[in-house]
Amino acid sequence: MSFILDALKKLEQEKAARRGGTVDISAEIVRGNHRVSRTARRTGPMNATTVGVGIALLIVVVAVAFVWRHRGVVRETESPAVEVPIVPRDTVAVERPPVPSPPRREEPMPVRAAAPPAARTETLPPPPQPRPARSETAEPASPPAVGAERVEDSPQGGASGGSGGLTVSGIAWQEQRSLRRAVINGLLLSEGKTVGGARIVEIMPNSVRFSSNGRTFEVSISSAQVGK
């Protein structure tokens, strides 16, 4: 009962605050009780029951109104919090660096296949050409060679110390000494070979150097021996 009275007091205070005046709730409650008691005496037990039900309904209505008002006050106090300005996402968002575009693939230019070999052929010097013509033509000349060998093998050639009867008819000269060849007395020989009692020391482009009995001499192509 005290809870109901407190609720009624609060409701009357709120109404008085809205109207601008003050109301003595205790006096009103006492007056209401006196009125109820008087009407109860007049109307009898039925009126007392009706009044009790009405008071109960009134209390329920007041309680519902109080609760509803309390909820409205709570909503009013909470509503300003919703109105807080929201920071736009554009200002908070982190600026991302621009994504670099993929590099364009440049199509390779057609390369001429013949250009590199042409450059190499221009830079490289031509290889030295041997002289196979004389050597090839001199090889079939077997009769003079046989005659020369016979002259060298004769006692007259031995008396001359192996320095006579040497004829150079062709030379195939190369930078590498092991590949050098010379046609001497119709025979194709290399350096270090011996012919007519003389050893071939060196084959040069136009002559051949021989060594015989501690003496060195040169014989040019298609010419007689030259002593040194």
pLDDT in tens, 169-189: 999 999 999 999 999 999 999
Domains of the chain: 2-82 (no CATH), 132-227 (2.30.30.830)
Token pair listed for 158: 């031995």
**What's the CA gap between 20 and 105, in Å, rounded?**
86
Q: Which residue type is seen at 110?
A: P
pLDDT band at residue 206 using 50, 70 and 90 as cut-offs: very high
pLDDT in tens, 114-169: 555 554 545 555 555 555 444 443 444 433 433 333 333 333 333 233 446 789 99
Give strand ranges (E) for 94-162: none
**What's the CA gap between 209 and 180, in Å, rounded?**
13
Higher pLDDT, 146 or 84: 84
- In angstroms, the Cα distances linking 162 to 154, 155, 188, 197 are 10, 10, 19, 5
**What's the CA gap between 23 and 98, in Å, rounded?**
73
DSSP annotation of 95: P
- Give the DSSP H/E element, type plus range, for residue 13: helix 2-19
pLDDT (mean) for 53-69: 86
Handedness of CA 139, 141, 142, 148 (dihedral sign): negative
User: CA 44 from chain center: how many Å?
Assistant: 106
User: What is the reported pLDDT for 74?
Assistant: 53
